[in-house]
């Protein structure tokens, strides 16, 4: 299996973007990634696209062909990949395997979602399709209510973590203030989180990720491929893991350990040949604040039951032991579902290159992305290292 590297990244501003269409989001992020890679479009051999639900939200299926036509990529093969909120990371992993196996040398990977133009009812219905519809959604269960159950169960097993959950939101908002492409550039306090509009006890509106428009693209290539000046800015892909679990929450083995994360992380660490303590920073899937606490434990950064204490002590802050979500995370950067996993990768690559501006970390040699789909039914974990000049 060949080594694979990232040579180009591009993403749009995330947010409520009424002036942007699917095609304009694709155009901006896709062309930015290709320009960043310093390549001509005619050397791109394949395209993989992450998209969750453009049929319901935009009336547009067949996304691979749409992206290829929009970017003028000619007659290359295209594939749309869907895995709920993990769609972007799954597209990335498919592209990684194709290049590693030698089918292609240079591949473009993109993710896009256009959501905010629809009513709350339409968006809620579309998102609910990522859950167990017959067993849960049809009976009134929503993602906020399901993750609220996880939070309540965690507090029952390990003690009250309500303030630590609020701190996750506060820290992510602080990081987003330094990210010009983040959706929610607003400083908040623990008190605001605790006392804001209730969604599903104990979650308030500030515990929940955002409905977002946005796109993100990356260019990957075989590490030994000569791509000119981009070689100096390569980021190597060390490891990748993909795991699954039950669609319904009722069938999970545990509500306080997300097995899908544990298994995907084990695969990624094994492939990379490293332990969790070697990770310098991570972008994790904080669809709700409780999820961030579960994630940092399940990824092996902290022992089970100690994630909340780690957050409270500032260990996950931008200046802490292992900075989490320097981009602002799903909570504040935004959650354009099909693009989310690739947006995480763009942030990690920017940090590893030393191009993250005012949010640049002092220690950034190895970074990790973690992206889950549905009720922790799908997970992709990727590990990256600064490439050799």
Integer Cα distance of 11 and 7 in angstroms: 14
Annotated catalytic residue, options 335, 346, 370, 379: 335
Q: Per the domain annotation, does 124 fall within a domain?
A: no
Residue 125 included in any domain: no
Token digits of residue 121: 């009812």
Please check whether residues 247 and 103 belong to one and the same domain: no
Picking from 137, 5, 132, 116, the residue whose alpha carbon sits closest to that of residue 57 is: 116
In a domain, 317, yes or no: yes
* Nearest residue to 234 (alpha-carbon basis) of 115, 387, 76, 42: 387
Same-domain status, 162 and 37: no
What number of other Cβ atoms are within 10 A of residue 134's Cβ? 10
* Contact present, 52 and 337 (Cβ < 8 Å): yes
Q: Is there a domain that residue 89 lies in?
A: yes
pLDDT of residue 1: 86
Residue 230 and residue 246 in one domain: no
* pLDDT for residue 299: 99
Same domain, 186 and 298: yes
**What is the structure's pLDDT at 118?**
96
The answer to whether the CB of 324 falls within 8 A of the CB of 144 is no
Active-site option among 20, 58, 85, 168: 85
Regions of the chain short of the pLDDT cut 50: none
Q: Would residue 75 show up in a list of annotated catalytic residues for this protein? A: no
CATH code (residue 369): 3.40.47.10
Cα dihedral sign, 290-293-298-299: positive
Look at residue 375 in the predicted model and tell me its pLDDT.
95
**Residue-level pLDDT at 221:** 97
Domain total for the chain? 2
Q: Is residue 389 part of a domain?
A: no
* pLDDT at residue 363, rounded to an integer: 86
Q: Are residues 10 and 156 in the same domain?
A: no
The pLDDT assigned to 230 comes to: 62
The pLDDT score that the predictor gives to residue 389 is: 55
- The whole-number pLDDT of residue 228 equals 67
214 CA to centre of own chain: 12
Please report the pLDDT score of residue 387 as a whole number.
86
Instruction: Name residue, tokens 């180009």.
Output: 8
Domain with 228, as residue range(s), is 4-119+211-235
Measured in whole angstroms, the distance separating CA 93 from the mean position of its chain's CA atoms is: 13
Over residues 238-279, the pLDDT tens digits come to 999 999 999 999 999 999 999 999 999 999 999 999 999 999
Asked if the structure places residue 269 within a domain, the reply is: yes
222 in the same domain as 170: no
For position 233, what pLDDT does the model report?
86
Is 370 tagged catalytic?
no
C-alpha span between 136 and 84 (Å, rounded): 16
Same domain, 182 and 271: yes
Handedness of CA 320, 326, 332, 336 (dihedral sign): negative
User: What is the distance between the alpha carbons of residues 114 and 55, in angstroms, rounded to a whole number?
Assistant: 11
Q: Say whether both 162 and 261 belong to one domain.
A: yes
Are 68 and 202 in a shared domain? Answer: no
Q: Check whether residue 183 and residue 217 sit in a common domain.
A: no
Cα 98 to Cα 40: distance, rounded to the nearest angstrom: 20
Residue 229: its pLDDT value, please? 61
Q: What is the pLDDT of residue 205?
A: 98
* 27 belongs to a structural domain: yes
Structural domain contains residue 215 = yes
State whether 281 and 188 are in the same domain: yes
Joined together, the tokens standing for residue 385 give 């290292």
Whether residue 264 is found in the same domain as residue 329? yes
pLDDT, tens digit, 9 for 90 and up, residues 299-355: 999 999 999 999 999 999 999 999 999 999 999 999 999 999 999 999 999 999 999
């Amino acid at each position: 299996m060949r080594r694979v590297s990232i040579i180009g990244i591009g993403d749009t501003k995330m947010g409520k973007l009424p002036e942007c269409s699917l095609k304009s989001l694709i155009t901006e992020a896709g062309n930015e990634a290709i320009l960043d890679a310093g390549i001509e479009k005619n050397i791109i051999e394949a395209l993989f696209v992450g998209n969750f639900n453009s049929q319901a939200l935009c009336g547009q299926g067949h996304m691979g062909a749409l992206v290829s036509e929009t970017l003028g990529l000619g007659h290359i093969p295209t594939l749309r990949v869907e895995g709920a909120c993990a769609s972007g990371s799954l597209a990335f992993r498919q592209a990684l395997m194709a290049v590693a196996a030698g089918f292609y040398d240079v591949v473009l990977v993109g993710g896009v979602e256009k959501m905010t133009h629809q009513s709350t009812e339409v968006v809620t219905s579309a998102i609910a399709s990522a859950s167990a519809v017959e067993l849960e959604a049809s009976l009134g269960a929503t993602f906020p209510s399901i993750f609220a159950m996880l939070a309540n169960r965690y507090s029952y097993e390990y003690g009250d973590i309500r303030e630590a959950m609020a701190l996750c939101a506060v820290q992510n908002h602080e990081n987003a203030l330094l990210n010009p492409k983040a959706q929610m550039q607003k400083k908040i306090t623990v008190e605001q989180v605790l006392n804001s509009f209730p969604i599903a006890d104990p979650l308030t509106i500030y515990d929940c990720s955002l409905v977002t428009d946005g796109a993100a693209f990356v260019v990957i290539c075989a590490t030994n491929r000569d791509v000119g000046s981009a070689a100096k800015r390569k980021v190597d892909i060390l490891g990748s893991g993909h795991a699954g679990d039950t669609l319904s929450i009722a069938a999970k083995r545990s509500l306080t350990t997300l097995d899908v994360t544990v298994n995907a992380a084990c695969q990624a660490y094994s492939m990379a040949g490293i332990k969790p303590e070697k990770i310098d920073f991570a972008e994790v899937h904080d669809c709700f604040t409780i999820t961030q606490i579960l994630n940092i434990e399940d990824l092996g950064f902290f022992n089970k039951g100690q994630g909340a204490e780690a957050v409270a002590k500032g260990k996950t802050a931008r200046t802490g032991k292992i900075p989490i979500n320097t981009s602002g995370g799903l909570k504040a950067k935004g959650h354009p579902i099909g693009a989310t996993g690739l947006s995480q990768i763009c942030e990690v690559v920017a940090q590893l290159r030393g191009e993250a501006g005012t949010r640049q970390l002092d220690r950034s040699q190895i970074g990790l992305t973690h992206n889950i789909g549905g009720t922790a039914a799908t997970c992709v974990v990727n590990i990256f290292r600064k490439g050799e000049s």
